[in-house]
Each structure stands twice: as C-alpha cells, then as structure tokens.
Amino acid sequence: MANVLTSEYDLNKTVAPRLPSATTQYDRQYQDQLNNILRLYFNQLDNILGQLDWNKPVDYIDFDTTASPTVHQTGRLDWDSDDATLELDMEYGVVQQIGQETYARVSNNTGSTILNGTVVGFAGATEGSLRVAPYLADGSQSTLYILGVMTHDLPDTGQKGYCTVWGFVRDVDTSGFSQGDILYASPSTAGALTNVKPTAPNNVIPLAAVVKVGTTDGVIFVRPTIEQQRNYGTFNRTTDYAPALANTAYAIEFNTTAVSNGVSRGTPTSRIVVANSGYYDISCTLQYSSSNASQKDAYAWIRKNGADIPQSSRITSLNLNGGYQPVLISEAVSLAANDYIEIMFAATDTAVTIKAAPATAFAPGSPAANLMVEQIQQ
C-alpha cells in the first residue's frame, strides 16, 4: 500500500509526545529535554515514512459504510448507504450513483432552459459535448436521434451538463402516472413523456419506467429502447388510366398519399422516392377492366431508377367485356438513399384500362392502383 494510509498503518497510530511544561526563564536542562523528545518523535516519523513507497498504485480504498450522509459538495466522493454504492457529487447538484447511472455530457443552444426530466434528442455537437433539444416523437425526426432524459435544469448559457442515458432521474413530476408504468417519448408535446404507446407514423420509443409517483419528488428509471425506424409509404391512383398506344410502356402516376414516412412521391409522381437506404418490399395492386371481349394481355412491372427490374413483370390475359380483374406485383428491392421506383404498365390492346371504382352504399371506393412500399431491412 502506498499513497493512502489507513488505520492499520503505524503512521496513523503514532501519538504526539507529551512535552514538559515550559519554565519561566531560560533553562538549559529543559531545552535539552525538549530537543530530545522532539528528536525521537521526528525520527520515528522519518522511519515510518521511509518504509512507504509513494510511487506505487493504490491497492484499494476503504470508505466508511456506516457514516452519516455527508454534505454534498462538487467533487466529493463518498459511500451512499441508501443505494449501496459510491456517490460522486457533480455540477448542478447532480449526484451520480456509481455503477447505477450513466450520463452523456451535453450542452443547450435552444434559446431557453431545458428542465430536469425533459426528454432530449441529438441536435448537433460542439467541442466536448452533444447538443440536445426537447425531442418530439411525431415521426418528423428519426428514432436514432433520441438520447435520454435531462437530470437537472440546463440553461442556454454555453455550459455543459448531464443527460441520463441509463439510471434514475429524480425530483420529476410523475403525478399523472402509476408506479410501474412504461413511459414513451410523447408525439404531441416536445420533451414530454406519456404512458400511452404511440402508433405509426409517430415514433414508438420506450424510454423509462415510473419508480415513484409524485408532483415534485417523482422518480423514473431511464433506459431508452432505440430501434432503427423503418420507412414506408402507401400511394393510390384514384382515377382511370388507359394506354394511348398498344405495346407501349407507361409509368403509372399516383395522385394521393395515404401514409408516408421516409417514402414519398417525386417528380413526376410516378416516381416513388426513398429517403434512406435499405431493403424494401414493393407491392402494387392494379385493377384492370376491358371495354371488349377480345383476347388481350396486360403487363405490369417495376423499374428502379429508370431501369427495368429483371423478372418483375406480371402478365394478365383479359377477355371480359366490363367488370374488374386485379393483379398483384410484388418484389423485394435493394434501394440506396434517394433511389426511386416506378410501376410500369403496357397492354396489347388500348381497350385495357386500369380502372377505379366509386364507393357504393355497402363498400368504399376502389383505386385503379394501390402501391405499398415497406422497408423490411435497414
């Protein structure tokens, strides 16, 4: 053992000697006695110190586990008997329970104070820290940007603070919840938590659990479960489409978006563009109709970035005058960011129409074409 001396070592057991009472006048015998006592004491100290090696690392440090709670002071390390671990006093009054809590070093440039208990996400970076802002889980930002929950009020002063990414956050308002509730990032209020699981296209981010219910002394345990968000889109053509020429390829334009997240109609609207790379399932249902009873064939297939995807064509033979006949095209396609796909159509006779149907008293309307694009792998 070096550097740190505990009660088991002689240095801490050494007692200062009792000195003789001073005389009122100079006394040579008294002076010699005093010198001898001090010389022996300091020789003893020198001998003990000479046995210590101050250049070796510490083997261990013992903390008093029975001491009363200490006064908190930035930079102080002591034993926390309530949580049965060491606690480290940090800036902003933050007390970290070592091994039970993990923080990210963050800064705030939002223009206003980010309060304790606020759900925050990545908003850039500066030297030595991540910039954070209250996170809104409405699908406008990827789930990958979620970081954690602020563990203290952080003003917009340029100073760095702490965001809990794993562990307890105390002194928050949990009065609207019940103990044991799973909390999600709110899709309606930036920085808030909700115990109602969001649904798509909102982000679904399980973030914390309620440990204690209270208005000002509530406690949550933070453990973000971050899944990479998958992109998707559903698009319809709600009007009829007939080819101008037989045996000629046409790209089907879609005029409505039913739902979309990371997949959108481009220009022209036959182009369906993906914002992120991945493996996508492309499924399109076309609803054919014919204006005569002669035999004819209708073709449909998928193009990627203007090039036909091999073996993606589906052929349907029609000889019914009137009526409807659906066909499904389905392929899994690897796409890079900003790639686009198109649904192509051709027929051997211009009597073929991709036909929409109006709603009836007992059924909703039917689109001429319905396209679903779903990311199945990142």
Q: 184 CB contacts (<8 Å, ≥6 apart)? A: 137, 193, 194, 195, 196, 197, 198, 204, 205, 206, 207
What CA–CA distance (Å, rounded) separates 336 from 275? 8
Backbone angles phi, psi at 342, to 5 degrees: -135, 145
For domain 101-222, is the CATH number 2.40.300? yes
The domain 232-377 is placed in CATH, from the list 3.90.79.10, 3.10.129.10, 3.30.1330.10, 2.60.120.40, at 2.60.120.40
What sign does the dihedral 194-196-200-203 (CA atoms) show? positive
First to last CA, the chain: 54
Write down the residue that tokens 């209020």 correspond to.
189
In whole angstroms, how far apart are CA 55 and each of 1, 3, 4, 9, 117? 10, 8, 11, 17, 44
> Token digits for 306?
């203007």
What CA–CA distance (Å, rounded) separates 98 from 85? 6
- Residue boundaries of the structural domains of the chain: 1-61, 101-222, 232-377
The DSSP bridge partners found for residue 144 are none
Closest CA to 43 of 71, 81, 17: 17
Digit-by-digit pLDDT tens for the chain (378 residues) are 444 555 555 556 667 777 778 777 777 887 878 888 888 888 877 777 776 666 777 778 888 888 887 788 999 999 998 889 999 999 999 999 999 999 999 999 999 999 999 999 999 998 889 999 999 999 888 898 999 999 999 999 888 999 999 999 999 999 999 999 999 999 999 999 999 999 878 899 999 999 999 999 999 999 999 877 789 999 999 999 999 999 999 999 999 999 998 999 999 999 999 999 999 999 999 999 999 999 999 999 999 999 999 999 999 999 989 889 999 999 999 999 999 999 999 999 999 999 999 999 999 999 999 999 999 987
